[in-house]
Structures are given as structure tokens and as C-alpha cells.
A and B are shown apart, each in its own frame.
Chain A
């Protein structure tokens, strides 16, 4: 375990954590330029496992956060991330660079999450959440309660709506990026977002009234 963590730190040096400018070649005074995602993919394609570990370090946190948002629990989220990385490794040769590596990984993860929902079955809880109606709650617990209610409201959305809400509101992706990640037209992204927000407003009406 210790060896693995050390290894992870080592890979982390090679590949900085994800940022909004992850593909930029920012010159650093302390060392060589960080490799771009595409360079890491190219090297991993030729069997360089260190390069693939670099991609893991760069995207594991993003994928995990997304998986928790889409699936709802940490254990299944970790499994989904592992399946995503396995799928990405197997699909390295078929990655055609039409989308960014982040979008490619997002697409695989969203499919894993959808498969998870199909296996587990999906149930809609279409009942407004009345957490904010409790006037006795202290300020700190009210904040925590609100977070839990938001989480419950997102979980209550149909998977199609949950995907667009999570990618837009929690990951800050543009409509174009969401369309690429979900392989749907941009107009569908817009209409799903509109309906998803409508459902969330109903579920969280106690907070938004």
C-alpha cells in the first residue's frame, strides 16, 4: 500500500492535477514542461504504463467526484472509476482525439454510471423535500441539511436529467462539452437542462420559494 501511494506521488510529479488549463504547456522554472493529455495517451498506447498512471493521477479525482454525483455512494463510485480506467486502457487504440481526453473519460464514466443504474433499478422519488420548512434548525445544521436535500433531489432525478445537471452545475461544462460527453445534440442538452431544472425547482421549492 505504501509503495502504491509513493508511486502515486511520483506519478503526480510527472502529471499535475487537473485544472482548467490542463492542456496548456505552462513553462515552469523547476522542471520540464508537463506532458499534455494527448502525449500521455500516445505513450500509454505504446505500452508506457507510467504515462497511463499519469492520466490516472490527473483525472482520478475529477472522475471520482463525478461518479459520486452520478451514482450517489462512494463504493460504487470507486468501482465505476476503476471500470472507466479499464475501459479507457482497452480503448486507447480506438481513441481518435475528436474530443478531449477529459470528455472521452467522462463519456465512459457516464456509461458506467448508466449501467450501474440499470443493474440496480431506478426509482423516482417525486416528492418535494421540506427540509427548509424546519424553523428550529440551527444555522450550521441547516446548511448541512440543505446539502443533503440537494443531494437527495439530484438522486431523485431520472438518470438523463441527472447527467446534464451534474455536468453543468457541478462540473461547469459548456453545452458543447456536455453534448460531446453524452453523445447527444446540443439542443437536447438545452431541453434536458430546462426540464431537469424544472423538476429540481419543484423538489427544492421549500428553499426557492
Chain B
């Protein structure tokens, strides 16, 4: 693949990096990422991955932009209130970088559509705000051997890790979803807007490292941070032989359905 003159300029700061270079940028341009949720995490992730020239960015989200989103979901602007989030995100990405093909799914990710959607992508970003969908992404990715980046934020804290086949999965640590309402949502507990950017850009960085094939991914360790103390920790964890989905004797061999808390689904 030959770069155009404008691509040479646009990606010059990547090409100049020894660990990205011409080959790495070509891999980025051929990469396909699915972002689940065009929200706090998905917004910065989508913007940086688009700026980096990721070839195909899929975005799935069933919501419309709400005024309360704008404090942290930076891909959406005030004029986008009431617009479908996937449309709002697509418009910004196309303005940022016409090299990127944007595929949108105005839908909730579910047991019915997840396999069909994820099979089109190299890696998935979990930018969701609820445990049932986090477990759904984990299970579908483990069952089909698809890498994903897990992410979660609340109040001043964030956590993320990366799954690749053969390494520890979400269920190796968190066996099953917490009971509904056991963990507050961002709408209940609040979240500092900028930490969505901190975490979402870490997820975008993992995806770029995955495409380029350089560095060490956040596999078998969870990165957590607290923005108040501004302390970052790496917590190692191992593949769990008793994991219900990737252990020696898995009890989960097909997708599970967990009820989404009613307050999180806007009709």
C-alpha cells in the first residue's frame, strides 16, 4: 500500500516513531475496531483511533445524546442533543479523518447480534456502563477468541485490562455480574468527566499497540487509577483454572442473558 502525500503528512509523527514506522501505520490503516458504547469511554477512544487512521471503526450504541452526556462524552456537541449517538459520532469522525470507514449500529449489543457484529472486527473496546453488557462482551470474545479492551469508570476511579486469547479473562476475576443495583452507576454516583478521557485514551492506546504489535498489552494485569490521589496501580492476575468460561471445566458454553437494570434503558 502506498501512502498519499496527505497521508504522509497526516501520519508523519507515527511514521517517524521507530516502533510504529511505515509498517505500523499500514497495520493501523488496515485495522478494524468495534467500539461498544459511544459514551464517556467510547468518545475519546473513537476520536484518537480515528485520528490515528484506523481503517474501520464500528460503533454500536442505541441511545440518543442527552444534555447530561456532554460533561464527558466529548465526541458529542451541544447541537447533537437528541441525535442518535452513533450518527453524532460518525459525523465527527468523518470530519476528523476521511481515511476512516465508519460503520454504525443503532442498537443495543445483545446475545442476538453480538456474534454477527464482532466477527467483522480485529478487536473490541468495551465502553459500556453496565455489567450485563461487560459480561456479554467478555463471554462472546472468549468463545470466539476475539481480543477486547475492558474499561470502567466511576466517581474518580478507573480500571482497564486487555484480553487476548490464552490470557486471563474478565470472569477469571469477576466470576459473575454483581446483583442489580449493588454497584451504583455513573448517573447515581457521579463521575469526573475528564477521567473518561484518561481511561478511554488508555483503551485506544492498547488498540493501537495491538495493531502495531509492539510493547506489552495490559494482559494478565488490571490497571487501576484514582484521579484524586493520581495514583496508578498494576494488579497482576492469572488465568483461573476454575473460571466458568475459560477454565478447565467451563460451565458456560453459550451466551448468558442478564437483565439490564430498567433505569439504564431509555425507551
Asked if chains A and B come from one complex, the reply is no
